Structure 1
Amino acid sequence: MSTDTTETTPPSVPIIPGIPTSPFFAVRQTPHSGRAVFATTFIPADTLVYRATDLTLSVLLREYRREVCGWCFGYEYGRDLSVVDKTVGFAFCGENCRVKWRTEGGKVAVGVQAWMAVEKLTKGRGKEDSEMVEMDLPRPRPKEIREAWEGVKARAELIRVARMGGGNTPNTEPVVRVTNQHRKAVQKAIADTISPDVMTFCVSGILFHYSHPDQFLNIDALACDYTPYHSADDLQAFTRTYLQLLAILPVPLLPHCTPEILITLSQRDSHNSFGIRSLEDDGSEFFGYGCWPSASYFNHSCGPNVEKQRVGRVWEFRTGREVEEGEELCITYLSGEERRLSRGKRMETLNRNWGFECGCERCEL
């Protein structure tokens, strides 16, 4: 996800899982901005060029759970929704969305059990760390990240042994005898501070890996941010949440709850997620975010030729003007108010949130 264009025809990208396909464009490699989307034909204005339906993980901030539908992300101007499923901590705009969430979004029975366990742990514990993380603190470097995850390895092993009954797999003969040390590790993890939104992110990703292991390559193929945690506290929230999930998730999910998977989710989501916002006010109300891997191949421009709009769980991309063959198709990563900022302020926002400096025509001019 970046900004530069090129005058020559870029080479096509080898077939990679999750790359979008369309009769209007192709994904190609560029010299300076990685993979990008280029028109393969003349495209009239207001043409629907792509629909991204591949939502892989999503986070609804806990403070908006009563107002935003857990399935279609529908919003009723701040009013509490009519259908509330207290056992899993989500509300829905109708019974149809609740059923879809339980059968699809809940990842069948084990998914519903996972969300019930999370809600049981979280409910009544107060906001604690649920506030948004401060973005201007120094980000932990790769070495610090490795050390933090290594630092919880021993505790994680104690919890795994306790949860697995001393065996390597459920219902097998104990390999290690479960002692008070193992049980105390579980109790300590459960009693620790909770970060509800971090937990939602992790559970959503774990359930996707459990239900669609073949499609996890779509996430793995995205651009990687090797410093995805906003601060040392943010990193600690993730390692702490990892231990808590080992302590409460259904046993079939434990093989999918690993540092490798959680780190991959953070590294790929960091620069590839899309905000879930109210649609009527040009994005001023931020409810959460999600990762649609195929949508991440559209690069940014401060003067975009493609407009994006979320329709329920789907992102639609339409041309905002006529586009010539060979021209790069770009969206903007900026909200409505941010689009009107000065060049310097736009650069500051893009660098802070997505880690690049914009080189689009508008910025160059």
Structure 2
Amino acid sequence: MESDLFRRQATWYGGRGLFATQPISKDTLLHTCPFPYASVIYRVFRKEVCGLCFAYAFDAGRNAWNIKLENGTGIWFCSEGCRDRWIRDESSEIVPAMNAAIDKLAKMAEKKQRSVAADSARIFTEIPKVESLTQDFIDEAWVIAENSAATQLPTLSEMELDTVRFVLSAILRRHAEDSGLQKTMPSPLDSWPALLELQNNELHFYRARPHALPSNLRIYAFIRRIVLTDVPALATYLATFETVHAVLARDPGNVFGMYEMNEEGDSEMLGWCMYVSASYFNHDCAPNVRKKRMGRELHFFATRDIAPGEELCTNYIDVKDTVTDRRKELAANWYFDCVCDRCKRELGATDDN
């Protein structure tokens, strides 16, 4: 990543991380992700969360925002300023057509009660045991889905429809990037090629949640139908399954929940985002980095003084939990066994007892 404070390099435990190249003082701003590559506000919250800055109406003592695009659907704003900035920096004539198409096709599918294509469903009649699910099986399922998706309009759950919106936001970002339409160009570490460098977690994800594979194939079929029918400007990205597959394979373990915290300390998840460069901050149960969302920007600060050569790590989970619970959650949702110094120390103490 482009910084005088740290460099990206391989870690001793696998993968890559960020390491300090000079002394860093506590509270130093280390990195800023100016906007997510892909994001979605849950449909149930979309009148309550600003489409640009993600401000939550409840925090302002309101039930909903009342500013929206004149020619669009599904996007509300907390202020005219956010609306005007969205029009200036993010607006695309594709967005209103895309949002309208999602709602229209979802109603059509529900009315007709169609299911995923027969060939796509057939492959799941003999799903191998979870522990023997292979990448070859997953790859074959995607090929079958591509060969049968063009004429299909599957019925999706509300969560699947939110995932459709998330994937399409990534495709729109890639389209803007490729065509030079994006007003604020990302750094190389927040671009489509950088997204492809993120860890692909689909094998671990599908082994833990076998239902997710057919679900994602239905999502792909739905997106392909939307694009080919109503958003032809994006057709090049649906010529094969690869673009949709790339986003969905990197969603698990690489996205950030869009949370709001109330005064009692309870949190509300309003949607989720993919900040590509932010994924290079690995996890530690005694983190030296904290993240803070400011509007749609994600900022990372040093929590203490950091020496040259130290890895810069944030926390993915609640580090107040026990070592057993922490490791269990990380293995289940981030697909790795934590080997941080704190875990090793606490596991050693447990073994001694």
TM over 0.5: yes
Go from structure 1 to structure 2 and tell me whether the alpha carbon gap of 1:68 and 1:315 turns closer, same or farther (over 3 Å shift).
Answer: same
* Aligned partners of 1:41 and 1:324 also within 8 Å: yes
Partner of 2:85: 100
1:155 alignment partner, one of 126, 148, 151: 148
Give, in whole Å, the separation in 1 of the partners of 2:106 and 2:88. 23
Q: Deviations over 1:193-240 (max 9, x none)?
A: 352112112211221221213931010111222424463432222222
Partner of 2:120: none
Go from structure 1 to structure 2 and tell me whether the alpha carbon gap of 1:241 and 1:76 turns closer, same or farther (over 3 Å shift).
Answer: same
Go from structure 1 to structure 2 and tell me whether the alpha carbon gap of 1:38 and 1:154 turns closer, same or farther (over 3 Å shift).
Answer: closer
1:324 and 2:300 are equivalent in the alignment: no
Amino acid of the residue matched to residue 105 of structure 1?
E
Partner of 1:364: 344
2:287 aligned counterpart, secondary structure: coil
Partner of 1:343: 323
Partner of 1:243: 221
1:200 alignment partner, one of 161, 165, 170: 165
Structure 2 unaligned segments of length 5 or more: list them.
114-128, 179-187, 346-353
1:50 alignment partner, one of 17, 28, 31: 31
Give, in whole Å, the separation in 2 of the partners of 1:260 and 1:266. 10
State the TM-score, normalized to the length of structure 2.
0.78
Cα offset for 1:356?
0.6
Partner of 1:143: 136
1:80 and 2:45 are equivalent in the alignment: no
1:212 aligned counterpart, secondary structure: helix
Cα offset for 1:273?
1.2
Cα offset for 1:297?
0.9
Give, in whole Å, the separation in 2 of the partners of 1:83 and 1:203. 23
Cα offset for 1:121?
2.8
Partner of 1:289: 272
Q: Deviations over 1:233-265 (max 9, x none)?
A: 322222222222222221121111231111111
Amino acid of the residue matched to residue 216 of structure 2?
F
Cα offset for 1:268?
2.2
* Aligned partners of 2:29 and 2:301 also within 8 Å: yes
Partner of 2:181: none
Partner of 1:209: 174
Cα offset for 1:87?
4.0
Structure 2 counterparts to residues 16-95 of structure 1, below 5 A:
20-77=1-58, 79-85=63-69, 87-95=72-80
2:57 aligned counterpart, secondary structure: coil
* Aligned partners of 1:279 and 1:310 also within 8 Å: no
Give, in whole Å, the separation in 2 of the partners of 1:50 and 1:192. 41
* Aligned partners of 1:209 and 1:256 also within 8 Å: no
* Aligned partners of 1:102 and 1:112 also within 8 Å: no
2:209 alignment partner, one of 211, 231, 248: 231
Partner of 2:252: 270
Single out whichever of 201-210 and 92-101 deviates more from structure 2: 92-101
Give, in whole Å, the separation in 2 of the partners of 1:111 and 1:90. 10
Partner of 2:195: 219
Amino acid of the residue matched to residue 206 of structure 1?
I
RMSD (Å) for aligned C-alpha atoms: 2.6
State the TM-score, normalized to the length of structure 1.
0.75
Structure 1 unaligned segments of length 5 or more: list them.
1-19, 129-136, 160-184
* Aligned partners of 2:109 and 2:155 also within 8 Å: no
Identity fraction in percent: 31
Aligned residue-pair number: 303
